[in-house]
Chain A
Amino acid sequence: MVATSHDVMPDIELYQPTDEDNALALADNLGRDGWLLAGGQDTFGWLKDRNKNPQAMIELTRVDAWKGIRETTDGVEIGALTTLTEIARDPILTEHYEVLAKAASLVASPQIRNVGTLGGNLNQDARCWYYRRGLDCYRAGGNICYADSPQGLNREHALFGASRCVAVSPSDTAPALVALDATMVIASASGQRTMSAEDYFIGPARDITHMTALNAGEILTAVRLPATWANAEFYFEKVADRNVWDFALVNVAAAMKMAGDSIEDVRLACGAVECTPRRLQTVENALRGQSRSEALAEQAGQLAVAGAEPLNYNHFKVPLMANLVKRAVRG
C-alpha cells in the first residue's frame, strides 16, 4: 500500500566527476543503478516521489568537455550539458540553426531552462500522468497501460506508433534536432558511437521501458548539427495548454531549403504525437521540388496525419498536427 505523499529527496549517493573518464567509469560501474544527472529537472520529481529508486546520481555538469557550443568543420557541435538558456541565446545557433534555439526557448520556464540541459531535454522520460504517478504500467515494467483503456484520460497521448504504451515524446528540442538531421554522440567506457537523431529515439514496440537508444553505462555527450541544414528556412511552433511550464500538445519543427519559390529539400518532424519525434518523410517527399503554396501546405498537413489512430481524448491532435504542418510549410 502506497499511502504517503513524498516530496523530499530520498537518501541517495551523489558523484560529481569532473572529467570524462571518471564520469564514464562511474556510468559503467553503476549501470542502470546510476542515474545520470544533468540539470535535474526530470530527475528530482522521480526521486522525490520514490517512483524511480537508483542508488546514486552521477552529476555530469562538471565535465566541461560536454558543455558549450563550438563550430566544427562541417557544422556545429553542442555539448549535451549545455543549458537550454544558453542554446536559446547562442549567437551561432540563433543565426544559423534558429529552429533549435526557438525550440529551446519554449521549454518549460525560464528557471528550468537556466539549469535544464539539451541532453536532459532529449533524454527526459515520458510525461504520461499515470506513469508519472508511479503506477506499475508497461513503461514502468508492468503489464498494463492505464492510459489506453476505455475511459483512460489520454488527451496528451499518442496518435501514432503506440504499442501497448501510448505515451508521447515530451521534448521540444528533439523534433528540432530531427529536422536538422543532427547526429548524437554517445560515449561509454568502451568508446564512442554516433547515430542520427532520428534513430536515437525509440518507441515502445522496440523498448517499452526506455525512450532512447542509450544503453546502460552510456552517456549522450554531444549533438552535432550538420552544415547541410545551416541557414535553411526554419519553422518551429509549439501548442500547449499554458504558455509556460507545459509540454506540447503538438509541436512542429521544419527545415526547408528554398530555391526561389520552390522547395529544394525539406525535413519535418512533429513532437508529442508519437513516443518518438515523428519525422514526416512522406510529407517531405511530397514537398520536395514543389513550389510553395497554400494548397501545398494544406495537402502537406493532410498527408502528415494520414494513419493517425486517436485515442479517447486526443482526436483534436489530428487537426492540430495538420494545421501545424500546414503552417510550417506555409512558413
Chain B
Amino acid sequence: MEEIVRYKRDVWGEEVILGVSWDLLWVVSVAVLVLLAAHAIIMAALARKNLDRPTAEGRRVVRHEGIDRIFHWLMAASILLLIFTGIAPILELRIDWLDMHWISGLVLTFLVVAHIVRSLFWQDFKSMLLMPKDFSEPFDSSRKPGKYYFEQKGMHWAATVVVLAVIATGLLMFLQIDTPFWERTNSMPEDQLGLLFLLHGLSTLALVALASTHIYFALRPEKIYYTRSMISGWMSEDELAANHDPTKWTPTEAD
C-alpha cells in the first residue's frame, strides 16, 4: 500500500489533503473478499455438524412490518447506487454519475432521517440497543436474544455510524457543487475541503466493506430466513424459537 491520503497543492503551492487514496478501495475489496472467503470455508468445514436447521413450516410471526422493509430496501438501493456512482469515475467508467450520486444521496439522507425519527418514537428503539450484557451473547449458547441478536445489532450500529459519516460529509460536499437549489460558493478553504473529501472517502471505504459483509451474511444459508423475512416480513415459530428468547421479544402472529 503506497499511501492512505492523497495530497495536492493548493492555489499557492502549499501541500494540502486532496482525499483518500483510491488504491485503498482495492485493499478494502481484497481484505473483505479474503475474510469472507475464509469465513465461507470455515463455515463449509463446520457445516456437516450443524444439520438441525429450524423449519420454515408452521405458524408464522411478523418480524418486519411492510413499512420497515420498504425503508430497508430503499436504503439498500440508494447506498448501492451511491457506491456505484461514486466508484464509477474512479474506475474510469464514463457515466454521468454526479446527478445520480447526489440525488440518491439526498434520498438516503431523507430515509435515514425518517428512520431515525420513526425508530425513536414509533418503533421499539430498545430492541436495537446494544447493552453491555449483549457482548457475552455470542459466547453463551444459553443466552438467546430478543428481536436482534448481537451480530445484527453490531452490523446495524456500524452501518449507522458509517452511513451518518457518509451523509454528513456528503452533505457538506453537496454544498460544493452546483445544484438546482444553489450555486456553489467555493468558499471552503482548500485544506478543509481536502479533509472533507478524505473523510467521505474513508467512510465510503468502510461502507463498501460493511455492505459487502452485510450482503454476504444475508446470503449465507444458515440464517437465510432473516433475509427472507426482510423480503416477505415473516419468520416461522420454529425459527423464532431456535434463535430468540420469547420473553425478550414477542412478535405478533402473521396472517
Contacts and interface: CB of A to CB of B under 8 A. Distances in A.
A135 B186 CA distance: 15
Interface string B69-106: 00000000000000000000100101111110000000
Given A148-B186, A150-B186, A208 B89 contact: yes
B18 A206 contact: no
A136 B92 CA distance: 19
A236 interface: no
A145 B94 contact: no
Interface in A136-180: 136, 141-146, 148-150, 152, 162-164
A21 interface: no
A163 B178 CA distance: 8
Contact of A144 (B94, B98, B190): B190
Interface string B1-33: 000000011110110001100000000000000
Nearest to A202: B94
Given A164-B177, A207-B89, A136 B18 contact: yes
B194 interface: yes
Nearest to A206: B94
Contact of B19 (A143, A150, A208, A215): A143
A14 interface: no
B184 to A, nearest CB: 7
Contacts of B225: none
Contacts of A150: 185-187
A214 B8 CA distance: 26
Contacts of B8: 136, 141-143
Interface of chain B, helix or strand or loop or mixed? loop
A108 interface: no
A148 B98 CA distance: 17
Contact of A145 (B13, B96, B98, B186): B186
A143 B9 contact: no
A296 B11 CA distance: 47
Nearest to A205: B96
Contact of A162 (B13, B89, B178, B194): B178
A258 interface: no
B96 A2 contact: no
A12 interface: no
Interface string A117-145: 00000000000000000011000011111
Interface residues of A, number: 25
Contacts of A152: 186
B98 A164 contact: yes
A146 B96 contact: no
A1 B15 CA distance: 7
Nearest to A134: B9
B197 interface: yes
Contacts of B176: 143-144
B92 to A, nearest CB: 7
A295 interface: no
A2 B186 contact: no
Contacts of A136: 8-10, 18
B194 A143 contact: yes
Given A143-B19, A146-B11, A146-B186, 6 more contacts: A143-B197, A148-B178, A163-B98, A206-B95, A207-B92, A215-B92
Of all A-B residue pairs in the complex, the 3 with the closest CB atoms, nearest first, are A149-B186, A136-B8, A2-B13
Interface of A: 1-3, 135-136, 141-146, 148-150, 152, 162-164, 202, 205-208, 213, 215
Interface of B: 8-11, 13-14, 18-19, 89, 92, 94-99, 176-178, 184-187, 190, 193-194, 197
23 contacts: A2-B9, A3-B13, A135-B11, A136-B8, A136-B9, A136-B10, A141-B18, A143-B193, A144-B176, A144-B186, A144-B190, A145-B186, A148-B186, A150-B187, A164-B177, A202-B94, A205-B96, A205-B99, A206-B94, A206-B95, A206-B96, A207-B94, A213-B94
